[in-house]
């Protein structure tokens, strides 16, 4: 087993042991996200795919890198010769080639090679016609240092197709890198949202437990008053029904907490609905710190960067397709000094000393004759390139619009949070005042219960607004990162 697998397995077991054996421990957001990054397979996969994409971001330049080329061939030619004197004559040739080939951004293909040919004519030891003389044995070497250049004149003119191939490859790899990088950040954002959801429901449970506790005291108080003849049964029954209702709501919250906790734990690969008793980060809320997330110099997001690379790849692919149907006209040039002798050393020496210089210049072409089809295809490729640009432009508009909406929503939630916080204080003061009145018999149990509900509802609204603000800030972190 590899070290990375052992480390990950140990991390998972360590997290699980702490989680299952510790009661009442505090878990900060940073600690939770570290556990997610260490144990979440989907996050790890996205991270690896992003790294793989970025590491291949120069894959297209492989088209322009030099290549070692060469080969070896053995040929035995047993075709009937022109002369009938030796019908069983055979020609044997051996070829050895090695060289370097390179494509340039101008579309030019250059190849420099060293070619060796060994030729031997094999005749039967006895001529077919008696008395005919035996021909001399033919056995010689040919050596050619060979420089060949091919320059496109129409298709791939100035390397249009070559450059498009490079760009398509690089852009596809970068798009994959940015896309998976965004997926990685999105997983962390979703995990952080799960953290805030669990923190919110835990805080609501604390409030609801306090509500049940208060209602229990009120039930006891109303029951004592009823037994002493200071109150009627309706006050007691009102307090008891309110207590039952709050207990039912508490049980519903506890049930919801299990579902939220299971999702919370799933992000760190723990198959359980158990949870820490306290999520420390929820208690601290610095509005000024949160507001920094709304102040970014420009709207940038990884999925937008991925879309831009998709646009470049599609644009390049359209250019490649356009070049594929263009008239193919190439200028070919060759220069190959050569030597020929029965001894290899003398042959190579003559060739390298350029004793016999040879040249070759030519043009080859291939032109599609269905010009109407070519024109239609060119129009479709232009439309493809235009569509890719429009998709990117639309994506940028949508993200700009989304960012503006998030900023507006952030300011709204901040204002609502201030109002909710003030409302909690007001409802608390109102409830305390009403409880004092109830002790002196100057108000009804129903009124007190109503004020308690108002107070707890105000707390729940505050927590809900706080949760919305934190989750909104989490989504804003995806921008400009």
Give the tokens for residue 462: 């505050």
pLDDT at 130 over 70: no
pLDDT of 70 reads 93
pLDDT, the chain, mean = 84
347-363: per-residue pLDDT in tens?
888 888 888 888 999 99
| Selected residue with higher pLDDT from 211 and 277 | 211
Instruction: Look at the chain and count its residues.
Output: 481
Instruction: Give the pLDDT mean for 27-46.
Output: 92
pLDDT at 284 over 90: no
Angle (CA) 141 142 144, round 5°: 150
CA 376/CA 321 separation, integer angstroms:
12
Considering the chain, what percentage of its residues have pLDDT values greater than 90?
A: 46
137-196: per-residue pLDDT in tens?
678 888 899 999 999 999 999 989 999 999 999 999 999 999 999 999 999 999 999 999
300-343: per-residue pLDDT in tens?
899 999 999 999 999 998 888 888 888 999 999 999 888 888 88
| Selected residue with higher pLDDT from 134 and 329 | 329
pLDDT of 8 reads 46
pLDDT at 14 over 50: no
CA 182/CA 173 separation, integer angstroms:
14
Give the tokens for residue 410: 């952030």
| 260-266 contacts at long range (C-beta below 8 A, 24 or more positions apart) | 260/194, 260/197, 260/198, 260/201, 261/198, 263/194, 263/197, 264/194, 264/195, 264/197, 264/198, 265/19
* Alpha-carbon dihedral 264, 266, 271, 277, rounded to 10 degrees: -20
pLDDT at 282 over 80: no
CA 316/CA 324 separation, integer angstroms:
12
Query: Whole-model pTM?
Result: 0.78
Instruction: Give the pLDDT mean for 245-253.
Output: 91
CA nearest to 100, candidates 108, 116, 112, 88: 112
Name the DSSP letter for residue 338.
B
Farthest CA pair distance, the chain: 154
Confidence band, pLDDT 50/70/90 cuts, at residue 423: very high
- 3-class DSSP string for 40-60: CHHHHHHHHHHHHHHHCCCHH
pLDDT at 129 over 80: no
Residue 164: burial class (beta carbons within 10 Å; 0-12, 13-18, 19+) = buried
Instruction: Give the pLDDT mean for 267-278.
Output: 83
pLDDT of 98 reads 94
CA nearest to 332, candidates 40, 110, 86: 110
Residue whose structure tokens are 């109303």 = 222
CA 392/CA 423 separation, integer angstroms:
46
DSSP states of 407-454:
HHHHHHHHHHHHHHHHHHHHHHHHHHHHHHHHHTT-S-HHHHHHHHHH
| CA–CA distances in Å: residue 76 to residues 3, 94, 140, 354, 454 | 57, 9, 15, 30, 102
287-299: per-residue pLDDT in tens?
888 888 888 777 7
Torsion over CA: 339, 343, 346, 352 (sign): positive
Instruction: Give the pLDDT mean for 453-464.
Output: 91
Residue whose structure tokens are 């055979």 = 90
CA 154/CA 151 separation, integer angstroms:
10
Instruction: Give the pLDDT mean for 11-37.
Output: 63
Least confident of 198-202, 211-215, 226-230, 399-403: 226-230
């Amino acid at each position: 087993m590899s070290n990375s697998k052992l480390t990950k397995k140990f991390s998972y077991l360590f997290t699980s042991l702490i989680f299952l054996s510790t009661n009442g421990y505090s878990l900060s957001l940073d600690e939770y996200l570290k556990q997610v990054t260490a144990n979440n397979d989907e996050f790890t996969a996205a991270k690896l795919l992003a790294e793989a994409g970025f590491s291949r971001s120069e894959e297209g330049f492989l088209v322009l890198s030099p290549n070692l080329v060469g080969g070896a061939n053995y040929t035995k030619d047993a075709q009937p010769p022109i002369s009938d004197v030796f019908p069983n004559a055979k020609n044997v040739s051996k070829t050895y080639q090695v060289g370097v080939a390179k494509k340039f951004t101008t579309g030019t293909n250059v190849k420099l090679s060293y070619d060796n040919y060994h030729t031997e004519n094999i005749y039967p030891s006895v001529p077919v016609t008696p008395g005919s003389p035996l021909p001399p044995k033919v056995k010689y070497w040919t050596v050619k240092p060979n420089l060949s250049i091919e320059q496109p004149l129409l298709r791939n003119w100035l390397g249009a197709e070559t450059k498009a191939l490079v760009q398509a490859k690089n852009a596809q790899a970068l798009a994959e890198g940015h896309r998976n990088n965004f997926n990685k950040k999105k997983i962390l954002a979703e995990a952080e949202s799960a953290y805030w959801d669990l923190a919110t429901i835990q805080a609501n449970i604390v409030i609801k437990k306090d509500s049940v506790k208060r209602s229990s005291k009120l039930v006891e108080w109303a029951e004592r008053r009823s037994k002493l003849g200071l109150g009627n049964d309706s006050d007691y029954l009102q307090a008891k029904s309110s207590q039952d209702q709050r207990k039912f709501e508490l049980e519903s919250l506890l049930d919801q907490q299990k579902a939220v906790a299971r999702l919370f734990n799933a992000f760190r690969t723990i198959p359980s609905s158990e949870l820490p008793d306290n999520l420390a980060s929820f208690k601290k809320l610095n509005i000024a710190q949160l507001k920094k997330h709304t102040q970014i110099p420009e709207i940038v997001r990884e999925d937008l960067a991925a879309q831009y690379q998709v646009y470049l790849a599609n644009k390049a692919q359209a250019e490649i397709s356009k070049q594929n149907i263009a008239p193919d006209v190439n200028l070919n040039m060759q220069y190959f000094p050569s030597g020929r002798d029965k001894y290899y050393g003398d042959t190579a020496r003559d060739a390298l000393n350029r004793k016999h210089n040879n040249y070759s210049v030519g043009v080859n072409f291939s032109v599609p004759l269905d010009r109407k089809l070519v024109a239609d295809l060119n129009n479709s490729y232009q439309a493809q390139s235009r569509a890719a640009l429009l998709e990117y432009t639309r994506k940028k508009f949508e993200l700009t619009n989304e960012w503006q909406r998030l900023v507006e929503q952030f300011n709204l939630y901040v204002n609502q949070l201030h109002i909710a916080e003030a409302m909690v204080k007001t409802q608390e003061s109102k409830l305390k005042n009403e409880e004092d009145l109830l002790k002196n018999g100057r108000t009804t149990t129903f009124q007190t219960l109503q004020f308690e509900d108002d107070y707890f509802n105000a707390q729940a609204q505050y927590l809900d607004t706080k949760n919305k603000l934190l989750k909104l800030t989490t989504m804003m972190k995806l921008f400009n990162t």
